[in-house]
């Protein structure tokens, strides 16, 4: 499929899914740091497990930079155990906080004031941070214009004949960013608190402080597109057996 046709299809997917499901309210969280913790914990596990771990941290009054800093490694491991791979994830959270303390005096505001590309490379250099985690932190915690690519994205686009599931992460990210950018030109800087609600896919989250934060139109589009694709992946485009009937993207499937 020619490059411009791919971009046109992606824009049509966004418009179709958003018309069908409306806002997805990603990422659910009350603070930037909660979103960052979620980005680490969601690696290789279901979101329901992440929610249990986050609730444990909240109950222990440890869902903050200061809280993670003050916990012993053993205590942190115990609290986030429901998320799986808890020993690795505990060390990675400690590494992030240590980096934040050393370079930014513990300030997320100072960290997110850095140029996006520079901060992305910095995050990628931390232990346990791959492109998806780094981009989730940038987009959802920092409200910076970076598209997040996940397994659902690859699966949907592969089955629709747009790209191969084995395509390089950066190539997919750049494709989405260039495809969706023109849609932002049609909108103004917006605050999701002022946007009308629609019937949402069951993958949508209730509004939260972070999901309703003020952001640019481009960041909002990247945010929504990722959440909408997650909805397709969770409810229709399963790993082993797709359920195409009822999916808003079914009309876009290649003719067989």
In sequence order, what are the beta bridge partners of 190?
215
Task: Check whether residue 45 and residue 124 sit in a common domain.
Answer: yes
Please say which residue of 141, 174, 203 terminates a domain: 141
What is the signed CA dihedral for 38, 131, 140, 37, rounded to 10 degrees? 20
Element (H, E) at 191: strand 190-191
For the stretch 9-29, pLDDT in tens is: 999 999 999 999 999 999 999
Task: Check whether residue 187 and residue 165 sit in a common domain.
Answer: yes
Share of residues in the chain with pLDDT > 90 (%): 89
Residue 217 neighbours by CB distance under 10 Å: 16
Please say which residue of 116, 141, 166 terminates a domain: 141
Please say which residue of 141, 169, 199 terminates a domain: 141
DSSP reduced 3-state for 153:
helix
Task: Check whether residue 128 and residue 183 sit in a common domain.
Answer: no
Burial zone of 31 (CB within 10 Å; 0-12 exposed, 13-18 middle, 19+ buried): middle
Task: Check whether residue 174 and residue 238 sit in a common domain.
Answer: yes
Task: Check whether residue 55 and residue 124 sit in a common domain.
Answer: yes
86: domain CATH number?
1.10.340.30
DSSP assignment, residue 255?
P
Question: What domain count does the chain have?
Answer: 2
d(CA 189, CA 220): 9
For the stretch 122-181, pLDDT in tens is: 999 999 999 999 999 999 999 999 999 999 999 999 999 999 999 999 999 999 999 999
Closest to 23 in 3D by CA, of 153, 207, 188, 244: 207
Give residue 165's domain range: 3-27+147-252
Question: Is 121 in contact with 86 (CB distance < 8 Å)?
Answer: no
């Amino acid at each position: 499929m020619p490059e411009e046709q791919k971009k046109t299809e992606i824009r049509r997917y966004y418009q179709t899914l958003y018309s069908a499901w409306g806002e997805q309210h990603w990422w659910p969280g009350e603070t930037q740091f909660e979103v960052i913790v979620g980005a680490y914990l969601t690696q290789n596990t279901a979101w329901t497990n992440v929610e249990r771990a986050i609730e444990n941290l909240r109950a222990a009054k440890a869902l903050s930079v200061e809280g993670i800093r003050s916990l012993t490694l053993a205590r942190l491991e115990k609290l986030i155990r429901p998320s799986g791979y808890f020993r690795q994830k505990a060390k990675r959270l400690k590494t992030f906080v240590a980096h934040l303390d050393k370079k930014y005096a513990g300030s997320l505001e100072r960290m997110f004031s850095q140029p996006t590309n520079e901060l992305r490379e910095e995050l990628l250099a931390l232990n346990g941070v791959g492109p998806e985690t780094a981009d989730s932190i940038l987009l959802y915690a920092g409200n910076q214009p970076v598209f997040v690519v996940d397994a659902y994205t690859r699966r949907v686009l592969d089955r629709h004949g747009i790209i191969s599931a084995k395509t390089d992460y950066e190539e997919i990210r750049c494709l989405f960013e260039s495809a969706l950018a023109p849609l932002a030109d049609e909108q103004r800087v917006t605050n999701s608190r002022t946007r009308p609600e629609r019937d949402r896919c069951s993958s949508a989250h209730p509004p939260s402080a972070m999901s309703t934060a003020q952001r640019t139109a481009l960041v909002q589009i990247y945010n929504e597109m990722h959440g909408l694709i997650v909805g397709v992946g969770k409810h229709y485009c399963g790993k082993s057996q797709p359920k195409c009937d009822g999916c808003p993207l079914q009309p876009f499937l290649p003719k067989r």
